[in-house]
Amino acid sequence: MANPTDTANVIIRPPIAWVVAVLAGLALNRLIPLPFVPAVVPGGWVGAIVFALALALLVWAIATITRSGSNVPTNQPTTTIVETGPYRFTRNPIYLGMMLGLIGLAIAVNSLWLLLTLVPFALVIRYGVIAREEAYLERKFGDVYGRYRARVRRWL
């Protein structure tokens, strides 16, 4: 197990938060279906495309971190600031991919509930994960992280 003083100490592991959001949205949709995709839109296909793009972003981001020699799980130390691949455009491509994946699923199953779970998921990720990660990276890498943060946006 990693040294807890050399991690961001996030409030929840992001994949767990994502699964909770998906399961909550699907459960609410089963109880009270709230479709939102117009009948003329092929929601299954559109949702699948959005989900596939999200998955591609996730794979690209994880592969980039792994190639750099750093750790992906939030409960392990970050060993370097990654500035290549999708990290040139956003500081949080994994979380962006998770949000896009949630949107894709919501469109594919035509569930407004699933789309609405994006709000609490995004808030938990922003304030319970990203805020803690940013503070940790600032403490650990100082000016290196500060320059990266000044150059690359948090989302897009």
pLDDT, tens digit, 9 for 90 and up, residues 84-123:
999 999 999 999 999 999 999 999 999 999 999 999 999 9
Q: Is residue 12 within 8 Å of 78, Cβ to Cβ?
A: no
What's the pLDDT band for 4 if we cut at 50, 70, 90?
low
The predicted pLDDT at position 7 comes to 95
Residue 117: inside a domain, yes or no? yes
The predicted pLDDT at position 5 comes to 75
Residue 116: inside a domain, yes or no? yes
Residue 5: inside a domain, yes or no? no
For the record, the structure tokens of 100 come out as 């896009």
Total tally of structural domains belonging to the chain:
1
Residue 2: inside a domain, yes or no? no
Residue 4: inside a domain, yes or no? no
Residue 58: inside a domain, yes or no? yes
Residue 125: inside a domain, yes or no? yes
The mean pLDDT of 15-36, rounded to a whole number, is 98
Residue 29: inside a domain, yes or no? yes
Q: State which residues form the domain around 127.
A: 11-35+43-151
